[in-house]
Structure 1
């Protein structure tokens, strides 16, 4: 309970109490919080005080507001380490989540000059363009577009990419994946991205672009992804 005689601001005490309920599991992911009016009556404070506590918890990513519905406890974010190169499928499985895909399109296209330059192939050389929604436990996590040279990764089909692309490359084609360069930046979701990811328009997202190479240096793929910032975070361990 809050202490109105304390020098600590009341909104902060309420914020910390709700935060404690979340971290201890009293309030679970997906639970709906009391309304501002209900909290104000419970704590005998103004709705403005409650609003400040709630807004602070929203900014910390612990809760989120759904227009016309209420305020909910945020799902726990999926952490991905940046110390190694893994596929989305491997990443989900390592966290005990069931990976799946929703295919938007899978087609063979001629390489543009920009694609050809990055993949070190001739312009108009055939490349696969694979656009998918990536899901963990049936929850949309990211929109991902892969550009892969068809002469390097042969025989791709929809059935293969529905499983694990990296598994096919390494265990069927026996190509050794070497390293990748990855760039991450923040953005806000477009209307199209928001609809595919099941989030509100202009919600924060993480834009990721990766260029992957085989162990012998041959360019393997260009990957562009839009990740839900409310469900995903990246972690790196650094030594001095």
Structure 2
């Protein structure tokens, strides 16, 4: 099943091998399949162990492969495709798609607003906010965390409500807090020890972090949420459509 290496002398041999292995993983193997050992790859392609290791390590770093001590190198489980915006509700996301039983509340409490949260919500520092942390499980393990902050003055009894639905629906249907717009930004960060522990990954592993502030029709912020996705479990997609193009007239 091994694919031939392609490319001329200007392309390093390790990079040619990387492309061949990427084709193997993409077209011939499935999640959980083991790739040949470094020794087998070296013999097949006539390459040194160092060259083979460089190619394999590059694919491990990209998240296509993962090593298991004493067992070998395997194709990672496919990342879950996560559209940046989904139909049905403009605040819906991959985090909100979890079927019943896969979303769990990790913590729910009322706390003084940290300075950064107060600035996002437009409230006084240390004003009470409800802090809700939920964990999304997939394939038996945690893959994402969302921490939401809601001004306690807007929804005093939030923590007594059923928190199993997506929070934006709870705010709408129970408390009449209807979001009309939201500002969202995306960053790639490294997991600190706390988030690494919650997500069962090593410290400093990459995470995709989205921060969203939702506001009502008069511009009052009603929720600030940060969602942390394991970078090895999700890929983010967005559909772009060209609207009507109107001619520019002088």
Q: Which bin holds the TM-score, normalised by the shorter protein?
A: 0.7 to 0.9
Residue 221 of structure 1 corresponds to which residue in structure 2? 223
- Partners of 1:3 and 1:116 lie apart in 2 by 56
- Superposition pairs of residues 183-198 of structure 1, within 5 angstroms: 183-198=185-200
Instruction: State how 1:1-240 maps to structure 2 within 5 Å.
Output: 1-2=3-4, 7=9, 10-24=13-27, 26-67=28-69, 69-83=71-85, 85-88=90-93, 91-92=96-97, 100-157=102-159, 160-237=162-239
Residue segments in structure 2 that go unaligned for 5+ positions in a row: 244-250
TM-score (ref. length: structure 1) = 0.79
| Long gaps (5+) in structure 1 | none
- TM-score (normalizing by structure 2): 0.77
Aligned residue-pair number:
236
**Rounded Cα–Cα distance in structure 1 between residues aligned with 2:15 and 2:185:** 36
CA distance in 1, matches of 2:231, 2:7: 38
Q: CA deviation at 1:80?
A: 3.1
CA change 1:234–1:223 in 2 (3 A) is: same
Q: 1:4 to 1:110 in 2, by over 3 A?
A: closer
Deviations 1:137-180 (A, max 9, x none): 54322222111112323432377223322222223334322121
> Following TM superposition, by how much is the alpha carbon of 1:5 offset from its aligned partner in structure 2, in angstroms?
11
Contact preservation (8 Å) 2:187, 2:210:
yes
Any conservation in 2 of the 1:89–1:164 contact (CA below 8 Å)? no
